[in-house]
Copies of this chain bind each other. A is one copy, B any other.
Amino acid sequence: MVLDLSAVIATVSEDEPRVLLVDANTEEADSRRRLPFGPFDPAGDRTMEEGLRRWVADQTGLNLGFVEQLYTFGDRFRDPSARAGGPRPISVGYVALVSQTAAKRPAGSSWVEWYRLFPWEDWRTGTPALLTDVLQPKLLAWAEDAPEARAQRQRRERAEVTFGFGDLGWDADRVLDRYELLYEAGLVAETVADGRIKTGQDQTDAHTWTGSPLHQDHRRILATAIGRLRGKIRYRPVIFEVMPPAFTLFDLQRATEALAGAPLHKQNFRRLVASEGLVEETGQMSSETGGRPAKLFRFRRDVVRERPAPGVRVPRRHHAR
């Protein structure tokens, strides 16, 4: 049994949320992009989080700000290509945020826009076309494909709830549920790569919307991280971890929208952020906005001493537009 630590290191730059992936090794035959990972050294590290910070600094030169343990992934067949036996890989997954200004590009890895890996999660410009045009029909077809009527209904209802079809509404935090459903339905690159497709259907075009398959269950770990971050921004001021020291309120809004994957009402956003005491004016202005110059703000650290659960107000659910 081997225990390692996997890190979802995220940031927001140019209004896009990004995650650090280690490039596929072109030397190897079946290499895939993967999350950075390191061993856990029980002798050397006092805590797992400390161990994580250490090897991330060693490997990437990044100094992590916010770090939180996500989940421990230990299912058999995490790596379907290695069913033969061998040591079972157990990973403790972590999510970490770094400031967009600090996010240089470590050698051998890349900052990948996470909505290129989860395009159905990006509702910032309305309901994703992929969802209505491709995934919804394919999911319903998959439901029909079940052997008996009962299973068909169950599949259909599960799809309706997790994807908010009809007037159910989209629950932004359920990223993992949606990924798992798509995996089962054979609609992500990993299902195909894992050889789990049983039907005669050609579903290899999943690559066109999810990109190439990631290593092991790393896209699942990523989905867990995105869901956790979306929940977290509501009651902890983690959004400021990805911001530069000074920013306009609209910058802050776009970063929030990037993580939340949903558009926000501009006037209300600024009203709430200000009234909750999350930010304070720096006194300076930014004239890079193209129109009227915007005031620059900074994070008001005192807010954590004043209110127990300070975060940006983001609706958990929203509807198609």
Interface residues of A (CB under 8 A from B): 1, 3, 40, 42, 45-48, 69, 71-72, 74-77, 88, 90, 92, 157, 160-161, 164, 168-171, 174, 235, 304-309, 316-317
Q: Among B48, B77, B169, B308, which residue has its beta carbon within 8 angstroms of that of A74?
A: B48
Closest 3 CB pairs of A and B: A171-B308, A42-B88, A72-B72
- Is B174 in contact with A40, judged by CB distance below 8 angstroms? no
Q: Which residue of B lies closest to A73 (CB)?
A: B48
- Is A47 in contact with B72, judged by CB distance below 8 angstroms? no
A257 to chain B, nearest CB (A): 20
- Is A309 in contact with B171, judged by CB distance below 8 angstroms? yes
Q: Which residue of B lies closest to A308 (CB)?
A: B171
18 contacts between A and B (CB under 8 A): A1-B1, A1-B42, A40-B74, A42-B88, A47-B75, A48-B72, A69-B72, A72-B92, A74-B92, A161-B305, A161-B308, A168-B307, A168-B308, A169-B308, A170-B308, A171-B308, A235-B316, A309-B317
Q: Which residue of B lies closest to A43 (CB)?
A: B88
A24 to chain B, nearest CB (A): 28
Q: Among B75, B164, B169, which residue has its beta carbon within 8 angstroms of that of A46?
A: B75
Q: Among B3, B75, B164, B168, which residue has its beta carbon within 8 angstroms of that of A90?
A: B3
- Is A308 in contact with B304, judged by CB distance below 8 angstroms? no
A313 to chain B, nearest CB (A): 13
Chain B residues closer than 8 Å to A48, beta-carbon distance: 72, 74-75
- Is B74 in contact with A305, judged by CB distance below 8 angstroms? no
A181 to chain B, nearest CB (A): 13
Chain B residues closer than 8 Å to A164, beta-carbon distance: 308
Q: A47-B74, A74-B47, A309-B317 are in contact. Are A161 and B304 (CB under 8 A)?
A: yes
Told that A1-B1, A69-B72, A308-B317 touch, could you supply 17 new A-B pairs with CB distance under 8 A? Answer: A1-B42, A3-B3, A3-B90, A42-B90, A46-B76, A47-B74, A48-B74, A69-B71, A72-B92, A160-B305, A161-B304, A161-B305, A168-B307, A169-B307, A169-B308, A170-B308, A171-B309
A74 to B42, CA, bound (A): 9
Q: Among B75, B90, B92, B157, which residue has its beta carbon within 8 angstroms of that of A305?
A: B157
A74 to B91, CA, bound (A): 13
A47 to B73, CA, bound (A): 9
Chain B CB within 10 Å — which of A48, A74, A168, A174 has the most? Answer: A74
